[in-house]
Amino acid sequence: MRNPFSAGSWVSGPNFFGRSDLIEEILTSNEKCDWIVAQRRMGKTSLLRKLEEQLNKSPQGDLGLFWDIQGAYDQDGFMESLEDAILDSQDLFGVCWEEVVELPTRSSSPHQVIKNLCRQLRAHNRRLVLLMDEAEEFISLTERTPETLSRLRKTFHSTPNLHTIICSTPRLEVLSSIPQIETSPFLHGFHARFLGNLKEFECVDLLKTGQIPETEARDIFELTSGNPFQTQLFAKYLFENRDFNETIRLLETNPSLAQVHEVNLGLLNQDESLFLFKVCNDSSFEPQNDDETRLAKKLEQLSYLHRPKDHWETASSFFSQWLKAFYSQKMENHPQAEEDVTLETASIPCIKDNLIRLYRFFLQHFETGNQVNYRESSFKISSQDGKVYPVKGTYRLEPIPEQGTSKVHSTSWQNAAKETLELASRWLDGDSSWSWFRFKELVTKFPEGEESMLVDTLMLMREEAKLDLEG
């Protein structure tokens, strides 16, 4: 049997599963404009293709036009992609286009082409349904030719027999903060609909196509929470090796899946990222106010979070595992909050508690041939977990100077230790503890010192600091 699972491209026809409720809502909607919001790899393109297929099954019904605007950039790009969309649709659904006799020309603009198509269809009591994929391109259009966006928006909302459906990630929300030449923001008047994870029965139906037993299918759903990409990827590997536990290990180390996780995390704004961080690090987390409740609901609709029992948690065990590793691997990944304090205003125990993290931060960059050029205010202490992190945009990486200069030693760990000492000395030189004295002694006696002794001393300082903080 051929492997029926696909984890890298859109699907259609018998390979499309689920979304029946959402499709029904859209096809029977009275809205002029719909906005479908989702993470990457959630099936946005597949959904639009399914809508295109259903709309065009009747030559006398609404005409569905799939329009991928990725890479369009400006008015010329939008016009070119619209022409391609029309030609592709005519190839696939030629009979549905028989009543459209006047095709677009290069002298036209996108909004004029759309209005012309609608005018011709209106004469036959038909409607045009625009199915626009990769709508983030509207951001580029706003920056390059905002007047084109303004005309398109007016066309979307004022053309009688036009229904516009756009698909994008949450990143499109930045349009509200970009100055435009019109009074109303572009997304004003678009009805937002969320494309989330598949339901359990939809996952089971999908997995049956590869002869995966129902018990295993439900176990897969528990692991992926119905995430379409993760489910398809899991099923693809399981179909090939028929080893459930081995497939789990393959997904936990899969670079393609890790990349999707990182891209999707990057779609969130600062408040959303910080909230996700809180949930990820607290197994019994509950929202504390109305703002947090709204954030939880939004992230649930976008399938970053779910609430399977009596508390919120990260959706998908694979995403949860990756997220915890992501936050712990690099200090610069730590979410920021307005109430975080700078390192120089932190207490001495708090600084000592974080010296090991500062040392590892400098070390990771020295090991790649760079040193960190920073200011005192480049580091902050998180109000969420008390950990230090570097503030993005306040420091830069520079190549390590030639050997023999006063700041450069023979090994990366020695360089990192010296940077840590120089930074911490600004606030800790008055500290009389033995551990601080020992740390300075080890750093200043290079190369006799050993890294293990240095790390042990930093860990001792952390334990002492924790006792002081708890007391």
Q: Write out the DSSP string of 382-429.
A: -TTT--EEEPTTS-EEEEPPPTTSTT--SSHHHHHHHHHHHHHHHHHT
Res 202: pLDDT:
96
Q: Write the DSSP string, 163-177.
A: EEEEEE-GGGGGGGG
Q: Where in the chain is the domain with CATH 3.40.50.300?
A: 19-194
Cα R_g (the chain), whole angstroms: 28
> Per residue in 213-258, pLDDT tens?
999 999 999 999 999 999 999 999 999 999 999 999 999 999 999 9
Taking the CA atoms of 123, 80, 96 and 37 in sequence, report the sign of the dihedral they define.
negative
CA distance 139 to 174: 8
Most confidently modeled range among 293-302, 321-330, 425-434 = 293-302
Which residue in this structure is represented by tokens 């084109």? 148
Res 447: pLDDT:
58
| Residues sharing a CB contact under 8 Å with residue 460, sequence separation 6 or more, in sequence order | 435
Res 125: pLDDT:
94
Res 39: pLDDT:
96
Res 79: pLDDT:
94
Res 285: pLDDT:
85
Min mean pLDDT across 297-306, 312-321, 326-335 is at 326-335
Res 377: pLDDT:
85
| Residues sharing a CB contact under 8 Å with residue 299, sequence separation 6 or more, in sequence order | 272, 275, 276, 305
Res 67: pLDDT:
98
Res 281: pLDDT:
83
User: What phi and psi, each to the nearest 5 degrees, are found at residue 131?
Assistant: -115, 90
The whole-number average pLDDT for the span 327-343 is 87
Res 470: pLDDT:
77
Cα distance from N-terminal residue to C-terminal residue, the chain:
65
Res 331: pLDDT:
86
User: What phi and psi, each to the nearest 5 degrees, are found at residue 370?
Assistant: -125, 155
Res 180: pLDDT:
63
Res 336: pLDDT:
87
pLDDT > 90: percent of the chain: 68
Q: Where in the chain is the domain with CATH 1.10.510?
A: 341-470
Overall size of the chain counted in residues: 471
What pTM value is reported for the model? 0.83
Res 446: pLDDT:
67
DSSP state of 284: T
pLDDT at residue 407 greater than cutoff 60: no
CATH class of 341-470: mainly alpha
The whole-number average pLDDT for the span 36-63 is 95
DSSP state of 36: E
pLDDT at residue 104 greater than cutoff 60: yes
Superfamily the domain 19-194 falls into: P-loop containing nucleotide triphosphate hydrolases (3.40.50.300)
The whole-number average pLDDT for the span 185-206 is 95
CA distance 409 to 405: 8
pLDDT at residue 339 greater than cutoff 80: yes
User: What burial letters (b/e) apply to 76-111, b meaning 16+ CB within 10 Å?
Assistant: ebbbebbbebbeebeeebeebbeebeeebeeebbbb
Categorize the per-residue pLDDT at 315 as very low, low, confident or very high, splitting at 50, 70 and 90: very high
Categorize the per-residue pLDDT at 372 as very low, low, confident or very high, splitting at 50, 70 and 90: very high
Categorize the per-residue pLDDT at 466 as very low, low, confident or very high, splitting at 50, 70 and 90: confident
pLDDT at residue 91 greater than cutoff 60: yes
Question: Which is more confident, 7 or 123?
Answer: 123
Res 73: pLDDT:
86
Retrieve residue 180's tokens: 């435009």
Most confidently modeled range among 137-146, 200-209, 322-331, 397-406 = 200-209
Is it true that domain 255-329 has CATH number 1.10.3470? no
Angle between helices 255-265 and 228-241 (to 10 degrees): 170
pLDDT at residue 406 greater than cutoff 60: no
User: Average pLDDT over the chain, rounded to whole?
Assistant: 91
Categorize the per-residue pLDDT at 448 as very low, low, confident or very high, splitting at 50, 70 and 90: low
pLDDT at residue 401 greater than cutoff 80: no
Taking the CA atoms of 276, 280, 286 and 288 in sequence, report the sign of the dihedral they define.
negative
Q: Where in the chain is the domain with CATH 1.10.10?
A: 255-329
The whole-number average pLDDT for the span 90-102 is 91
